[in-house]
Amino acid sequence: MAKKKFYFALLYFTEGAPIGLIYVALPTLLREQALSIEMIAKFTSLLIIPWTLKVVWAPVIDTFKSPKLSYHSWMIFSQIMMGLTLVPLLFLDLKADFNLCLNILLVHAFFSSIQDISIDALAISITSPVDHGKINGWMQMGQFLGRSAFGGGTILMLKYLSFNTVITILISVIFIFGIFAARTQIFKNAPATYGTMNLETLFSNLKKALWKKSIFIGFLFALTVLSAERGLLGLMGPFLLDRGFDKTTIGTFLALPASILTIIGSLLGGYAADKFGKKVILTLATLVTTFLIFSAISLVPPQLLIPILCLIYFMVGVILTTSCSLLMGITDPMLAATQFSAFMGMMNLCESYSVFIVGNFSTLYSFPFGILVTCGISLLSLLFLRQIKEFKPYSE
């Protein structure tokens, strides 16, 4: 189990690294170049779209699955394409070639989503449901380390290195770390997950799985649970810039305390969810986080804002890990890629529309008003949470 935790964390590190660059560092750099919050929100929202549509191509992975074309094979293929699609950025200027860079990053996001589908499906197929909380904690730890290194880390590295050097380092990390983890025997020897399927069988199972009431409630929960957090954190760099913080302070905050506390929250949240129950932890964490976010946008003095944000990042780790663990528990292993990808696609859609709401409301009304709308949506998730039947642990 220890090796599984390490390698899944390593794979999620390679997933989180480009996420950090694209969704954390670039919005901050674009805001520094005087791009409006509304435009940055649209930029981020567009790049999340491939993640929201994972359920569209996940059936292909579930269908065309065999000993020679397993979840493991899809994972390696997408890992290679993730690195290759970043290479053109070495020859382009982010501002002058903005639209071309956006299109290239959309293609990159597509292959990143394929990687995510493959890793999650592999995790479901080779881990016991009683360990889902723990394994999710390690996976989220890896992702947030990657986001930290190339999110806030990129902002700091640009003081000493060129943008092209940072991109080169990122591509190297994706190839080296990803292939190293993907080649381990733990994944190579993974079973071919309950056999293979043909299209007729797949669509028959899809109809049964995706139209069940419990699954539909799970979709609604995933679509709402992190709205407030995504709305604020998705524009955290621009938010702090507008509050008078300099780029170095923002980069340091996002790279160190924010990421470290999210990782701690992910690990502790995973263990707490397995011990005390996922619904209990999610209810408490959602209520506390909503209150903290409301406090953060209430024009508190700078000396109080950073500690409040630190607590928010910790709680985000708890909520994200526990939510993923809960949704894994109601996922049919026969359709691991498709069904869980649908849940995660809803979470990605939550991020996209939340950032879009906050960005547009910042122009029409105010930034705090947009955040308040997303807080209301997050609280709505508790109604859906009550109706989800939580997985009951068993002894193997």
Q: Which CATH number fits domain 2-386: 2.40.128.20, 1.10.10.60, 1.20.1250.20, 3.40.50.1000?
A: 1.20.1250.20
pLDDT per position as a tens digit, 124-143: 778 877 777 778 778 888 88
Residue 217 Cα distances to 82, 377, 384, angstroms: 33, 15, 6
User: What residues have CB less than 8 Å from 177, skipping those under 6 apart?
Assistant: 10, 13, 14
Residue 1 Cα distances to 4, 127, 132, 143, angstroms: 5, 9, 11, 19
Q: Report the predicted TM-score, pTM, of the whole model to 2 decimal places.
A: 0.81
Residue 258, phi then psi, degrees to nearest 5: -60, -50
Domain boundaries of the chain, sorted by first residue: 2-386
d(CA 342, CA 356): 21
Q: What is the pLDDT of residue 302?
A: 79
User: What residues have CB less than 8 Å from 91, skipping those under 6 apart?
Assistant: none
* HEC profile of 88-119: HHHHCCCCCCHHHHHHHHHHHHHHHHHHHHHH
Angle at CA of residue 290, ends 306 and 140, nearest 5°: 75
d(CA 162, CA 177): 22
Written as six digits, the tokens of 173 are 């990390």
Collapse the DSSP code of 261 into the 3-class scheme (helix H, G, I; strand E, B; otherwise coil) and give the result. helix
DSSP-derived secondary structure for 334-360: GGHHHHHHHHHHHHHHHHHHHHHHHHH
pLDDT per position as a tens digit, 310-328: 999 999 999 999 998 899 8
- Reported as type and span, the H/E element at residue 276 is helix 257-276
CA atoms within 13 A on the CB side of 154: 28
Written as six digits, the tokens of 98 are 């903005």
With residues binned 3-state (H G I as helix, E B as strand, rest as coil), the percentages for the chain, rounded to 5, are 80, 0, 20
Amino acid at 8: F
Per-residue pLDDT of the chain (396 residues; tens, 9 = 90+): 678 888 889 999 999 999 999 999 998 888 888 778 888 888 888 999 999 888 777 777 777 666 667 777 888 899 999 999 999 999 998 878 888 999 999 999 999 999 998 888 888 778 877 777 778 778 888 888 998 999 999 999 998 999 999 999 999 999 998 777 667 766 665 555 444 556 666 666 666 656 777 788 999 999 999 999 999 999 999 999 989 999 899 999 998 899 899 989 988 988 888 889 899 999 999 999 999 999 998 878 878 999 999 999 999 999 999 998 899 888 876 666 678 888 988 999 999 999 999 988 887 788 889 999 999 999 999 999 999 975 444 333
